[in-house]
């Protein structure tokens, strides 16, 4: 699928000590990354965690304050111009032209990437078909639905068959069904050899990635395959099912070793540090004494990605809310 000459290096992106400051704010702090080719790699973090800045640094749009980056064997940002042709970038916000039609937008991007006339029209037709936009070809981009816009943006980003695709929160304005479908498209691209770097604040999306970097306040808090991150979590997860979750919550907040409690309906999810003594037993005692008349079920459960996120970011001075995906 990729037309540009393949390089030897096995990694699409290698960053060492990557740092970017805006005045006093350190947006990206000492980031070390190794992203293998043909993988789907995720940046997971809340808003303001430095995902967008990191992506811009990686594609040479921003100059790093410190550190080194090599992308597809090219030093950034010195060789950013050379890289432009080999990457695709889908911005967080819809950034195609709303007053141009779907086809005109794609044709325009094809011209900007200097695709020759015939090949360009063929490629546009192919993409319209692939991303189910043939019927909307003449429609102005501004009138498309969220899902259609997103497919159009993806089509525009892959028009010139880039080796590396940057997607900055691509699904933030899309319903669950379209998100699932979108991820299917991403895996198709990755199977064809495209490396994909995608940022998200949805846990369920992050879980789909081959590998993941958890960012918080510009710092890399954890990295690895989602499964492995969950297995290696430095915490014990206790799940409490009770008709009086608020009372139970109050009862356990003072327990030693408690990292966090989150409520999901009638459920409480409590994270304890691994070093804490018999968290399960202590929780059972505390909960039953808080509401002796009722029965609560308390058990140890497997950690999910959100638990991992809470566990790795708990040392941050101030916790921030993380949205949980619904799809």
H-type alpha helices, the chain: 51-58, 80-84, 102-112, 117-130, 146-158, 176-191, 203-208, 226-231, 245-252, 279-290, 305-313
Q: Are 166 and 153 in contact (CB under 8 A)?
A: no
| Residue whose CB is less far from other proteins, 68 or 231 | 68
Question: Cα separation of 194 and 37, whole Å?
Answer: 7
Shortest Cβ distance from residue 114 to other proteins (Å)? 4
Distance CA(106)–CA(128), nearest Å, equals: 9
CB of 84 to other proteins, least distance (A): 5
The span from the CA of 53 to the CA of 31, in Å, is: 11
The nearer residue to other proteins, 18 or 286, going by C-beta atoms, is: 18
What is the CA 83 to chain-centroid distance, rounded? 22
Q: Which is nearer to other proteins, 32 or 63 (CB)?
A: 63
In the complex, what is the shortest distance from the CB of residue 108 to other proteins, in angstroms, rounded to a whole number?
A: 5
What are the CA-CA distances from residue 262 to residues 45, 204, 269, 277, 281 (Å)?
Answer: 18, 17, 5, 21, 19
Other beta carbons within 10 Å of 9? 12
The residue (of 97 and 244) whose beta carbon lies closer to other proteins is 97
- For residue 107, what are its two tokens? 């044709």
Q: Tell me how far, at minimum, the Cβ of 293 lies from other proteins, in Å.
A: 57
- CB-nearer residue toward other proteins: 58 or 311: 58
Contact 53, 210 (CB under 8 A): no
Taking alpha carbons only, the member of 317, 320, 234 closest to residue 49 is 320
Residue (99 or 293) nearer to other proteins, CB:
99
Nearer to other proteins (CB atom), residue 107 or residue 204: 107
Q: How far is the CB of 26 from other proteins (least distance, A)?
A: 16
Binding site for other proteins (CB under 8 A): 59, 61-63, 81, 84-85, 87, 89, 91, 93-100, 104, 108-109, 111-114, 156, 166
CA distances 91 to 19, 51, 169, 318, Å, are 21, 12, 8, 28
CB 164 within 8 A of CB 197: yes
Sequence-ordered list of residues with C-beta below 8 angstroms from that of 265, at least 6 positions apart, any chain: 245
Residue 69 near residue 58 (C-beta atoms within 8 A): yes
Nearest to other proteins of 39, 53 (CB atom):
53
Question: Nearer to other proteins by C-beta: 75 or 223?
Answer: 75
Partnered with residue 297 across adjacent β-strands are 241
Please state, in angstroms and rounded to a whole number, the distance separating the CA atoms of residues 285 and 54: 46
Smallest gap from residue 32 Cβ to other proteins (A): 23
Q: Closest distance between other proteins and the C-beta of residue 202, in Å?
A: 21
Give the nearest distance from C-beta 99 to other proteins in angstroms.
Answer: 5
CB of 172 to other proteins, least distance (A): 13
């Amino acid at each position: 699928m990729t037309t540009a000459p393949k390089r030897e290096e096995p990694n699409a992106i290698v960053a060492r000590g990557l740092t970017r400051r805006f005045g006093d704010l350190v947006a990206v702090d000492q980031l070390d990354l190794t992203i293998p080719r043909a993988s789907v790699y995720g940046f997971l973090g809340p808003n303001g965690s430095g995902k967008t800045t990191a992506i811009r640094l990686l594609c040479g749009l921003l100059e790093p304050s410190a550190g080194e980056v090599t992308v597809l064997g090219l030093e950034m940002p010195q060789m950013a111009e050379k890289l432009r042709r080999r990457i695709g970038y889908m911005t967080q916000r819809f950034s195609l032209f709303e007053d141009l039609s779907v086809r005109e937008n794609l044709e325009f991007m094809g011209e900007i990437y200097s695709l020759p006339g015939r090949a360009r029209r063929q490629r546009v037709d192919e993409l319209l078909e692939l991303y189910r936009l043939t019927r909307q070809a003449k429609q102005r981009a501004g009138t498309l639905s969220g899902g259609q816009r997103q497919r159009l943006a993806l089509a525009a980003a892959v028009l010139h068959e880039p080796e590396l695709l940057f997607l900055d929160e691509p699904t933030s304005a899309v319903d669950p069904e379209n998100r699932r479908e979108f991820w299917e498209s991403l895996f198709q691209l990755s199977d064809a050899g495209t490396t994909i770097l995608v940022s998200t604040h949805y846990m369920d999306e992050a879980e789909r990635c081959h590998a993941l970097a958890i960012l918080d306040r510009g710092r890399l808090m954890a990295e690895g395959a989602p499964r492995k991150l969950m297995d290696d979590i430095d915490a014990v997860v206790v799940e409490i099912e009770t008709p009086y979750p608020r009372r139970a919550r109050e009862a356990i907040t003072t327990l030693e070793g408690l990292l966090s409690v989150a409520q999901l309906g009638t459920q409480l999810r409590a994270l304890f540090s691994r070093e804490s003594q018999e968290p399960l037993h202590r929780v059972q005692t505390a909960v039953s004494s808080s509401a002796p008349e009722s029965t609560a079920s308390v058990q140890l459960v497997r950690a999910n990605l959100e638990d991992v996120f809470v566990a790795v970011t708990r040392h941050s001075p101030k916790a921030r809310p993380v949205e949980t995906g619904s799809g």
